[in-house]
Structure 1
Amino acid sequence: MSSTKIPHKMLSLDPFSSWLGIEIIEVKIGYCKLGLRIRKEMLNSMQKAHGGITYSLADTAFGFAANTHGKFAVSIETSINHIEALQEEDYITAETKLELSKNKLGFQVVEIKRGEELVALFKGVVYRTSKEWEVD
């Protein structure tokens, strides 16, 4: 059974995403928009946000959206294009922009933005298992 409650449950069970400070902004079936603020401990040696921070936010949005269909969906392939560098205190969002389901596979494109500026583009494929989410 599909549910917009699943991402909230997933976040509550995810210490890494919680450490990142990920906030759920909006959830619909097959759609998710998340945000986070870049902190000092997220910077690399060039004093820019580590690429893994942007990737992690996008990957979480991707996973949350894919799981709203009610089945455990696991990532089988992802990629990201970094377009702009990010600074400490930047607030970024990751929003699923395309969702396509084919049998047990799901395809997503996630846009990562700083305000209205596109800073990264993420693409991912999930495999939907037969295991159902249990939501209170």
Structure 2
Amino acid sequence: MVTNLPENLREELNNIFLSDKTAESIGVTSVDWKPGEAYVKSVLTENFTNFLGVGHGGFLFTLADVALSFASNSHGRKSLAMKVDITYHRGASIGDEVTASAIEFSRSRRFSNYRIELHVGEELVASATGLAFRTDEWHLSEDAWPEDWKKSH
């Protein structure tokens, strides 16, 4: 049974994640992931503030969604977010480095669920849950993935 993602597939999947135009547009500078988890960072700039001069909720939501996207696709199957429910706990300011983590807490053949947290340092800025739909399609090609991996992921 294959329990670890083969390195060549990890590299190719990582290249797919790094090509995410939305992540690029909000300045995601760090991506770390493993099957079922993803961690991304971005620094809040003036471009992502609201009319009050603080971090826009849309920026935080988008960062959470990027983390969810990487985590839900990290098993190799193409997955799409179906629902994200977010709660904002405190504001973020220009210059804050915001870290978003998405961690899978359940997965079936068709659906996967995630807990998402956004932090500035140790402070919780927002928390969310995400639901993703898992398609039958695989990133790269279905033949690229070991049979044992496909059966368990």
Which residue of the partner structure matches residue 33 of structure 1? 39
Asked if 2 retains the 8 angstrom alpha-carbon contact of 1:74 and 1:127, the reply is yes
Deviation string, structure 1 residues 7-47 (Cα, Å, up to 9, x no partner)? 441331x2221011112342111111000000011100000
Identity among equivalent pairs (%): 24
Choose 89-98 or 103-112, whichever is displaced more.
89-98
1:87 aligns with 2:93: yes
Which residue of the partner structure matches residue 103 of structure 1? 109
Unaligned runs of 5+ in 2: 145-153
Asked if 1 retains the 8 angstrom alpha-carbon contact of 2:85 and 2:129, the reply is yes
Cα distance in 2, alignment partners of residues 24 and 8 from structure 1: 13
Which residue of the partner structure matches residue 120 of structure 1? 126
Cα distance in 2, alignment partners of residues 120 and 56 from structure 1: 12
Aligned residue pair count: 135
1:133 aligns with 2:133: no
Equivalent of residue 76 in structure 1, options 82, 88, 94: 82
Asked if 2 retains the 8 angstrom alpha-carbon contact of 1:62 and 1:108, the reply is yes
Cα distance in 2, alignment partners of residues 96 and 7 from structure 1: 16
The TM-score, its normalising length taken from structure 1, stands at: 0.91
CA RMSD of aligned residues (A): 1.9
Which residue of the partner structure matches residue 18 of structure 2? 11
Cα distance in 1, alignment partners of residues 80 and 31 from structure 2: 22
Which structure has greater strand proportion?
1
Structure 2 CA distance for partners of 1:95 and 1:4, relative to 1, 3 Å: farther
Cα distance in 1, alignment partners of residues 85 and 75 from structure 2: 22
Q: Which amino acid aligns with 2:37?
A: Y
